Amino acid sequence: MVNVTLIGTGGMLPLPDRWLTSLWLEYNGKACLIDCGEGTQIAIAQHKLKLSHLDTILITHTHADHISGLAGLLLSLGNCGKTDTLKIYGYTGITEIIRQLLCICPVLPFRIEIVELPINTKSSFMWNDIVISSLPLDHSIDCLGYSFVLNRKAVFAPEKAKALGIDVKYWKTLHSGKSIDINAKTITPDMVTAESRSPIKVSYITDTRYFGGLEEFAANSDLLICEGMYGDDEYIIKMREKGHMVFSQSGKLAINSHSKRLWLTHYSPALTNPYDYEEFMKKLFPETIISSDSQSITLK
């Protein structure tokens, strides 16, 4: 089970009723956070997420609304007793920026390992049995989108084992992925598993203009979390100039990437009621959620 919580939904500035856009993804008792704007540690506490589970932070880019809360978050992490290594991923050159931000919290009870990802090409790495991929986006400064893919093990099918006449004492061995030999015949694990299950995929795309590469990157997402600064198409040109999208472009991305669900986020502070566009978006892509802070889902 992958638990996903959108900690905040704001862009640019935190508001009294809207924290800055940030994502919490938890699997197997470990949590990964994308971005930490101002006050993210307070939002994490309000949503009753366990900061002690956090072992990895992914940074999309270094605009203040995505990184200015890093020092405060790390101090809170230290106060909750963390002693094992925290990994922070960002694009090439982020190490120096993080070092400068952390000069106000020079002593932390845990080690920080910073990993730089390429800014001119896609890359992938493993976290907690999940493949995380990064994609360079098209924003006003260097910026990365991220996707999470959990490939699920096929489930053991007792009825298949019974049909093959395999004694129960061998089931555990087959379930662990090992083959067995019975009566000069080799039984492989795939002979006693149910049809393979499709992976669980979550894509997180903000901040960026629309471009074709997003469709391939987010392809077949169970959950696409995507920015939308405004709900009205009249802002398309203005947002393109600033390196952003509007709601209908996020809907177009959900359609073209064949995603199952769309959560909108990163609203402009000037967009006081994003829910005004719910009907418009449901017509475009029915599985759209105009997210609010603490929007969450468990993907199985």
11 binds Zn ion (CB under 5 A): yes
63 binds Zn ion (CB under 5 A): yes
User: Which residues touch 39 (CB under 8 Å, ≥6 apart)?
Assistant: 14, 19, 20, 69, 72
Of residues 35, 55, 65, 222, which has the active-site annotation? Answer: 65
Return the residue matching tokens 């468990």.
Answer: 298
For Zn ion (CB under 5 A), the number of binding residues is: 4
Query: Judged by CB under 5 A, which stretch of 65-73, 74-82, 213-221, 276-284 contacts Zn ion?
Result: 65-73
37 binds Zn ion (CB under 5 A): no
Nearest approach, Cβ of 139 to Zn ion (angstroms)?
5
Pairing of strands 144-150, 130-136: antiparallel
35 binds Zn ion (CB under 5 A): no
- Measured in degrees and rounded to the nearest 5, phi and psi for residue 143 equal -160, 145
244 binds Zn ion (CB under 5 A): no
Question: Of 26, 35, 55, 207, which lies in the binding site for Zn ion, with binding defined by CB under 5 A?
Answer: 207
Nearest approach, Cβ of 169 to Zn ion (angstroms)?
58
Over the window 100 to 139, marking each residue x when it contacts Zn ion by CB under 5 A and - when it does not, the resulting string is: ----------------------------------------
Catalytic (active site) residue 65 = yes
Measured from the CB atom, is 98 or 299 closer to Zn ion?
Answer: 98
Residues 170-200 as b/e (b if ≥16 CB within 10 A, e otherwise) read bbeebbeeeebeeeeeebebeebbeeeeeeb
Q: Which residues bind Zn ion (CB under 5 A)?
A: 11, 63, 65, 207
Q: Which residues are known to be catalytic?
A: 65
